[in-house]
Amino acid sequence: MQKIAIVGASTLLGKELKELLLDSPLAAAEIILFDEEDVLGQLEQLGDEVTFLGRVTAESFEGVDFAFFTGTHALTDKHWRQAVRSNCPVIDLSGSLDKDAGVMVRAPWLMVKTSGADLLTTAIVAADPAAVALALLMERLAKAAPVRFAAATVLQPASQLGSGAMDELHQQTVNLLSFQTLPRAVFDAQTAYNMLGGFGESAPTALNECADRVRRHYQRLAGPEGARLLIQVLQAPIFHGHCFSMAVEFEHATDLSSIEQALSGEHIDLVLEDTDTPSNLAATGQNDLLVRVKPEGVTETIHVAGSSPVTKLWLWVATDNLRVNAANAIECALELEKMRPRGKVQ
């Protein structure tokens, strides 16, 4: 039986990964949960069973097939090399290792040819979920026609920064309605009922850092031949789910039906009706990207074969950021599993 470790299991991302693993090809594996010192002993539901969060030790990764790191940067930095020394491949979802030399950023959903995993791979960074969504969309659009220009505004939810950010957004909302002082430990700014282009100077994570990570991962995934994409990240006053507004211009006029056909396929759910527009609420719990296409300057889009050619269009996209992140990480593990030797050497 395979054995899987989740380090940072009490986080929002850790809980999402745990739930998705139980409905994946790795569902039969034994799952062990680890976390920070301050939550040790906390009870966690694991399928029909209840288990405890354990402490990470030098022996924690012995005999473990994969270790998913879903906690803080500090937790990952402290323990990921222990896993590697125990011959346990690491899949990092924390965003801590993407600047380490030799650690690949991966998104198996994409068809683009980047350097893949092999027998010597010890650690993989599961690509940022916003970068995964953007790279997948740009890859599909390029099948319809060469892209001349593209720009995307990413509306980031509080859950992308963890449960502390979710709690702060909730408490800010409550305090505003009761005319009380706002908590600012995470954002150092008012996020409730407000759209932010940056956090306060005392915020532990800068919004620019989030944007840089999305841009960096997009470039890794798109590769040198991929279409250039301008990316802006804003902090939205929402709890959960990424939303994206994208503007795209093609090198030449292309039928809308051809564009929609290129976008359609695995991992993308094309929404054709204005009354059923993608939203962060609609995307919750969905593995796919919800995508709405509208040509520039067209008030009513008609989806028929041979429709009028267009050169410019808008995309409105919504995804479940935690679910996309967890699903991509599991795909990374399955990719690594294919590389591992099976059976006995004669």
What pLDDT, on a 0 to 100 scale, did the predictor assign at position 345?
40
Distance CA 186, CA 162 (A): 10
Amino acid 341: pLDDT: 55
In terms of C-beta distances under 8 Å and separation of at least 24 residues, what long-range contacts does 187-193 make, across chains too?
187/235, 191/158, 191/235, 191/237, 192/237, 193/237
CA separation for the pair 138, 224 (Å, rounded): 13
> What per-residue confidence (pLDDT) applies to 45?
64
Nearest partner of 31 among 20, 43, 18, judged by Cα = 18
Rounded Cα distance, 51 and 16, in Å: 16
Q: Residue 220 CB: number of other CB atoms within 10 A?
A: 21
> Phi, psi (5° rounding) for residue 163?
-65, -30
* pLDDT at position 224: 84
Domains of the chain: 3-126+326-339 (3.40.50.720), 131-321 (3.30.360.10)
The token pair that represents 304 in the structure block: 């028929």
Residue 343: the pLDDT is 44
DSSP annotation string for 267-334: TEEE---GGG---HHHHTT-SSEEEEEEETT-SS----TTPPEEEEEEEEEEE-HHHHHHHHHHHHHH
Closest by CA position to 3, among listed 341, 342, 333: 333
Radius of gyration of the chain (CA): 21
Query: CA angle, 59 as apex, 58 and 60 as ends, to 5°?
Result: 95
The pLDDT value recorded for residue 44 is: 67
How many Å apart are CA 255 and CA 285, to the nearest integer?
Answer: 32
- Could you report the average pLDDT of every consecutive run of 10 residues in the chain (346 residues)? 91 94 91 81 65 83 94 91 92 89 87 56 91 97 94 98 96 95 96 96 95 95 89 98 97 93 94 86 95 79 63 96 97 84 46
Per the DSSP assignment, residues forming a β-bridge with 30 are: 3
Of the CA atoms within 13 Å of residue 54, those in its CB half-sphere come to 13
pTM here is 0.90
